[in-house]
Structure 1
Amino acid sequence: MRKLLIVSALVLFAGVAFGQTLTKGSVIGVHNYTITLQPDVTMNQFVEFWKNNVIPEFEKVWPGPKTIVMKGDRGEHKYGFATISYFESIEQRDKIYPTEGDPDDAAIPESLIPIMEELGKYIISYEDDYTDYVIL
């Protein structure tokens, strides 16, 4: 029940944050990351890099989907990092993520390789616990 309330709040927040109506058939991707940072990097530095560099580069390559970045403040994931992504349809989501999980390295466009390499300056590794929700 608690997870349902949290997911409901996140979906409602996503609709307000993106300033658009959540339409039937649209997809909300909720990603909760566990990040292992490089020793000299703070979570704030990583989040700022992700928000100001990674997301804009992804949006250049794949216009349409919108992503917001969040960091934990309280609760189970107090020190965590999460994103909510909004796709207008399953088809739009599938153009970027044709299968479950992260895109294959082969599917990552060459234009994103530099930003992904730069990401290695901030993190050692990450785990992505996610669920995509289709609006009914």
Structure 2
Amino acid sequence: MAARDARALSLADLTNRDAAAGLKAALEQGANVAVQLLGRTDGFWGDDRVRIPLPEWLQRGESALKLMGRGREVDELKVGVNRAAEQAVPEAKHLLVNAVRTMSVKDAKSILAGGDDSVTKFFAEKTRAPLATRFLPIVTKV
């Protein structure tokens, strides 16, 4: 009987807390996997989907710099930006996981009802300032 009752449950039977708990579990797992994948050599540089490009103003001058014999420096800068990100990403793990663990039911509802960038907006709101504080010393060394 319990098995039949369990199968009869639908999405409408989920409580807000159940939905929030499921979302939290998925986001925490996703944060851990993202840090694991990106926080290693070639995590950014080796993947075209996440490789960090030079700022647009530098991209506009890239061909001119290469014509002036500065191509090696431009290439080193591209690699350096991505290597800095790879070194900094592990610092994000605690902040991302903490943001997920302290997520309210209201936050979860906003994410579930929001658009494609709702998770990004949530993490930006909760972690942008502390991430900048933790990342800056790392990226300025590279």
TM range (shorter): under 0.3
Larger radius of gyration: 2
| TM-score, reference length from structure 1 | 0.27
Structure with more helix by fraction = 2
Structure with more strand by fraction = 1
| TM-score, reference length from structure 2 | 0.26
